[in-house]
Chains A and B, each alone.
Chain A
Amino acid sequence: MRERVSILDGNTFLVCDRRGDIEPSFDFPTGLFSFDTRFISTWLLTLNGERLHALSIDDAQSYRTRFFLVPGEPTHYLDAKVSVIRSRSVGGSFDEELTVLNHSGQEVEFTLRLDIGADFADLFEIKHKRHKKGRTTPSVAGGELRLAYRREKFHREVVVNTSTPGNIDESGITYRIRVGPHGEWTTQLHIATVIYGARGEDIRATLPLGGHRSAAAIHAEQDELIARAPKLGCDCAPLAGAYRRSLNDLAALRYESIALGVRLLAAGLPWFMTLFGRDSIFTSLQVLPFLPELVPPTILMLAALQGSRLDDFRDEEPGKILHELRYGETAGFEEQPHSPYFGSADSTALLVILLDEYERWTGDGDLVRRLEYQTRAALDWIDTYGDLLGTGYVWYRTRNPETGLQNQCWKDSWDAVSYTDGRLPEFPRATCELQGYAYDAKLRGARLARTFWNDPAYADRLEREAAALKERFNRDFWIPEREYYALALDPDGRHVDALSSNIGHLLWSGIVDESRAAAVVGHLLGPRLFSGWGVRTLGDDQGRYNPIGYHVGTVWPFDNSIIAWGLWRYGFREEAGRICESMLSASRFFGGRLPEAFAGYDRDLTDYPVQYPTACSPQAWSAGTPLLLLRVMLGLDPQGEHLIIDPAVPEGMGRVELLDIPGRWGRVDALGRSRTPRDHARGH
């Protein structure tokens, strides 16, 4: 398999091979995508009938690539008399400049051919290998190639223009050109995508922010965003590299929401270039200390799309926060439930947590007041529809067995929740971290009620409920003989007893009894869960453990960042530092860009973190990970109007200096320095 090259701007992205070509693919999303539709599925360049191969690729920018190509396969004797440069960018549309360079002393005639095709596949048709129900019609007129797809009133088009005239036919463009000695020839191709909506206009044309951005505009916007972020000075090169890469990727993953005309963060390339409740909330929590202005659009959008009715197909209930919103054909024609889909049992509590954390950092009480009703509805959901069995816990069970999600927690693959012996429990299931989030949401909701909604009685009630939940949870989920919390309860209230990373999220939520924290930490940093590169999703002696199993053995950077936050919360700074060190060491092997997940092999076994085959990259909550780790190492926590800075930098990392941290205090600087081995010998 050839290595793929990706560029993106928000949820418009292009995936091609190392020559810049796109060949039809029915199992992996190669091509040009926008709003979940593949607008270009064939884009193949030949020179005199021959394919080209890459001498080098310049992909330093997230939205632009340049390919330097020569004819023939790499095995051929290379004596290129001609070379081709393809320079391209995405930003709402897709632009490519083709340049042919004649290196010989004579004028030469060339035939340059670009094969072009569009299958208008919905991302889910690629995932599930389905065939199109509508019709694609190509047409050539006025010097452009137009490919139109229609299914009832659903209508999408891609229009290809060339600046230098060529022979355009229904499957591409042929240029017959003469290039002078040591001369060059160039054409600009412009590829516009159209999503038809009201009055036959592009749906994006009516958005307040406008849908199409030039490469220069993207560059300026990314630079401005990065300029606003705090400045990092440090001795640790991987940390500096990961921080810079993360800011770039987060800037690139912002996209225009069709629904609200605000910029949201797409979750991950290529499968998840859309709004996810859980992913966008966790990413927001990670970036809050650095780029707080990214957060309110996410909160507002999720609140505006809050569930309002019972709908089995979408797993929707009043007060629930969405799981996933898609814009494509399968969502529109209800072949998939993502319009939006509500199959997550955690995003509702997580939104309350985010709103509170956001206010603690920014002092934006207006937003909290404005969202009082939605926040109360979310808190109500926890105790009503969330508590499917009426036992005081949050449970899940899909009402859409065909296209819904079986597991509605962050580990949402079908086999992610199991007993130690590998058996899978019945539904409904109550995973442990859902109860932690509910506990935290109640306490944070109480603070909001008391401070902003003038409702101390409600605040008292929420605090009483939280205390009761903590007591109940510590009784029902704790497995005394193993000294950890069960991954879940099954419908009979029995322990689903696998050892999993979920227990780390419990520390973050604060639901762990102080007396049990040390035992939980021992497991997280013990040999069964800790690989040396991070905490595995599942212990390596569990029935379903697989070092390359999506949620049953791989290491997820986002998961580790939340676990590190939890360790810090309970005072385990040295252990939190070990997670930070392992993640940052791993990031070096990915050019500073932590992927969605990597394999769970022991660090001793492999000297580098092994890539997970289909991991998304960039992935928003992986890009957010180095930011949250920085917060953990520097011990940044808002208290009233001030920012507490309590650094504990891991040994060997040296100086870590973060300047201009924004918040309700204006901007402040934080400085941390790792202790020397001699300091360390004196102990805590």
Chain B
Amino acid sequence: MGEAIEQFFASLPARAPAVLRGPTTGAIQLDLTTGNRTDHWLVEMRPGAVRVTHGRGPADAIWNSSADLFERLVTGRAAAMAAVLRNESTYSGSVVLFLDFRRFFPDPPGTRDPRDTARERLGRSG
């Protein structure tokens, strides 16, 4: 299990107040596979807060993918919806939960604020 994934889950409780602003409540289980081994994470979400457990639990939705793909997601190098569309990951259960959970995924590495780029091109400062 990559360090990036551990760090990602560890960061969620502190980030939840800013990220989970909608009324959604529910638990999403993430099954992350490396070779023959599957690692389970349970994220219980409610407005402004999450509880993360390293393990299974009663869940309203299940995400299933390789740990490798998930690591790319938590480092911004992959996009979650596209991964589901090409069936590289599968998802079942409440879709609203997933759409809220995806808000924790960061920008692709090196992405710049488009305002800075646009203003620079015109030789203007922000």
Looking across the interface, which residue of chain A has its beta carbon closest to that of B78?
A334
Distance between A396 CB and nearest chain B CB, rounded to angstroms: 10
0 or 1 for each of B94-105: is its CB under 8 Å from A? (1 = yes)? 011001101101
- With A312-B108, A390-B126, A428-B118 already in contact, the answer to whether A370 and B23 are too (CB < 8 A) is yes
Does B111 lie within 8 Å of A312, measured CB to CB?
A: yes
Instruction: Report how far A377 CA is from B20 CA in the complex, Å.
Output: 13
Closest CB-CB distance, A446 to chain B, in whole Å? 20
Closest chain-B Cβ to A165's Cβ sits at a distance in Å of 34
Shortest Cβ gap from A28 to chain B (Å): 24
B95 and A259 form a contact (CB under 8 A): yes
Which residue of B85, B102, B103, B122 contacts A491 across the interface (Cβ within 8 Å)? Answer: B122
Contacting pair B114 A389 (CB below 8 A): no
- Given contact pairs A310-B107, A310-B113, a sample of 18 additional A-B residue pairs in the complex whose CB atoms are under 8 Å apart: A151-B86, A155-B87, A197-B92, A198-B64, A198-B91, A260-B95, A304-B95, A311-B107, A312-B111, A314-B79, A317-B114, A332-B83, A334-B82, A339-B85, A340-B81, A370-B23, A387-B115, A395-B118
Is the Cβ of A309 less than 8 Å from the Cβ of B82? no
Contact A332 B115 (CB under 8 A): no
Q: Tell me if B90 counts as interface (CB < 8 A to partner A).
A: yes
Indicate if the CB atoms of A311 and B111 lie closer than 8 Å: yes
Q: Which residues of A contact B68 (CB under 8 A)?
A: none
Q: A51 contacts the other chain (Cβ, under 8 Å)?
A: no
Query: Can you list 24 A-B contacts (CB < 8 A)?
Result: A152-B87, A154-B87, A155-B87, A197-B90, A198-B62, A259-B99, A308-B103, A308-B105, A310-B113, A312-B108, A328-B85, A332-B82, A332-B85, A332-B87, A332-B88, A334-B79, A334-B82, A339-B79, A339-B81, A339-B82, A373-B22, A388-B115, A389-B119, A399-B114
Indicate which residue in A198, A309, A313, A389 contacts B122 across the interface (CB closer than 8 Å).
A389
Kindly supply a per-residue 1/0 record for chain A positions 265-282, scoring 1 wherever the CB is within 8 Å of any chain B CB and 0 otherwise: 000000000000000000
Q: B105: nearest residue on chain A (CB-CB)?
A: A309
Q: Which chain B residue has the least Cβ–Cβ distance from A261?
A: B95
C-alpha gap A302/B82 in the complex (Å): 17
| A153 near B87: Cβ-Cβ < 8 Å | yes
- Cα A155 to Cα B107 in complex, Å, equals 29
| Residues in A lying within 8 Å of B, measured CB to CB | 151-155, 196-199, 206, 259-261, 304-305, 308-314, 317, 327-329, 331-334, 339-340, 370, 373-374, 377, 384-385, 387-390, 395, 397, 399, 428, 491
- B107-125 near A? 1/0 per residue, CB < 8 Å: 1100111110111001010
Known A198-B91, A198-B92, A389-B122: A333·B23 in contact at CB below 8 Å? no
- In the assembled complex, which residues on chain B have CB atoms less than 8 Å from the CB atom of A333? 82, 86
Give complex CA distance A152, B82 in Å. Answer: 14
CA–CA, A65 and B81, complex, Å: 36
Please measure, in the bound complex, the distance between the C-alpha atom of A340 and the C-alpha atom of B114, giving whole angstroms: 18
Taking the complex as formed, is B21 at the interface, i.e. its CB lies under 8 A from any CB of chain A? Answer: yes
* Bound-complex Cα distance A304 to B100 (A): 7
B88 close to A397 (CB less than 8 A) = no
Q: For the complex, what is the distance from the CA of A310 to the CA of B105, rounded to whole Å?
A: 11
Residue contact B113 to A305, C-beta cutoff 8 Å? no
Q: A308-B102, A340-B81 are in contact. Are A198 and B90 (CB under 8 A)?
A: yes
Instruction: Assign chain B's interface to a size class.
Output: 35 or more
Asked if B79 contacts A311 (CB within 8 A), the reply is yes
- Contact call A331/B85, Cβ cutoff below 8 A: yes
Q: Looking at the assembled complex, report how far the CB atom of A268 sits from the nearest CB atom of chain B, in whole angstroms.
A: 22
Contact status of A329 and B86, CB under 8 A, knowing A309-B106, A334-B79, A373-B22: yes
A198 to B91, CA, bound (A): 6
Residue of A nearest to B92 (CB): A198
Which residues of B are found within 8 Å of A339, using beta-carbon distances?
Answer: 79, 81-82, 85
Complex interface: chain A residues within 8 A of B106 (CB): 309
Cβ–Cβ contact B87 & A197, under 8 A: yes
CB neighbors of A among B51-93 (8 A): 62, 64, 76, 79, 81-88, 90-92
Q: Which residue of B lies closest to A388 (CB)?
A: B118
Chain A contact residues: helix, strand, loop or mixed:
loop
- Give the chain B neighbours of A329 by CB distance below 8 A: 86
Residues of A within 8 A of B96 (CB): 260, 304
Residue of A nearest to B108 (CB): A311
**Which 7 pairs across A and B sit closest by C-beta, in order of nearness?**
A332-B86, A332-B85, A198-B90, A373-B21, A339-B82, A308-B103, A153-B87
A389 in contact with B87 (CB, 8 Å): no
Q: Are B99 and A304 in contact (CB under 8 A)?
A: yes
B114 in complex: contacting residue of A154, A197, A310, CB < 8 Å: A310
Asked whether B87 lies within 8 Å of A385 as measured between CB atoms, the reply is no
Write out the residue numbers on chain A whose beta carbons fall within 8 Å of the beta carbon of B99: 259, 304-305
A385 touches B114 (CB 8 A): yes
Q: Is the CB of A309 within 8 A of B107?
A: yes
For A261, list chain B residues within 8 Å (CB).
95
Chain A residue numbers with a CB within 8 Å of B82 are 331-334, 339
Shortest CB-to-CB span from B79 to chain A, Å, is 6
Chain B residues near A399: list those with CB within 8 A: 114, 117
Complex formed: what's the CA distance from A397 to B117 in Å?
10
Report yes or no: A154 in contact with B124, Cβ–Cβ below 8 A.
no
Smallest CB gap from A391: residue in B: B124
Question: Could you mark each residue 8-27 of chain B with 1 if its beta carbon is under 8 Å from any beta carbon of chain A, else 0?
Answer: 00000000000001110000
B69 to chain A, nearest CB (A): 11
Using CB atoms, name the residue of chain A closest to B64.
A198
Could you tell me the distance in whole angstroms from the C-beta of B3 to the nearest C-beta in chain A? 22
- Min C-beta distance of B72 to chain A, whole Å: 12
What CA separation (Å) do A446 and B124 show in the bound complex? 32
What distance in Å separates the Cβ of A11 from its nearest Cβ neighbour in chain B? 14
Give Cα A326 to B71, complex, Å: 25
Q: State in angstroms the CA–CA spacing of A469 and B15 once bound together.
A: 35
Residue of B nearest to A151 (CB): B86
Q: How far is the CA of A9 from the CA of B103 in the complex (A)?
A: 33
The residue on A at minimum CB distance from B81 is A339
In the assembled complex, the CB of B68 is this many whole angstroms from the nearest CB of chain A, namely 13
Q: How far is the CA of A511 from the CA of B85 in the complex (A)?
A: 41
- Cβ A206 vs Cβ B22 within 8 A: no
User: Complex: how many Å from CA A264 to CA B114?
Assistant: 31
Give the docked Cα–Cα distance between A152 and B85 (Å).
Answer: 12
B17 to chain A, nearest CB (A): 12
Separation in Å of the A408 CB from the closest CB of chain B? 12
Residues of A within 8 A of B85 (CB): 327-328, 331-332, 339
Q: How far is the CB of A453 from chain B (nearest CB, A)?
A: 13
Q: Are A397 and B118 in contact (CB under 8 A)?
A: yes
Determine the distance from Cα of A377 to Cα of B81 in the docked complex, in whole angstroms: 21
Chain B residues with CB under 8 Å of A377's CB are 21
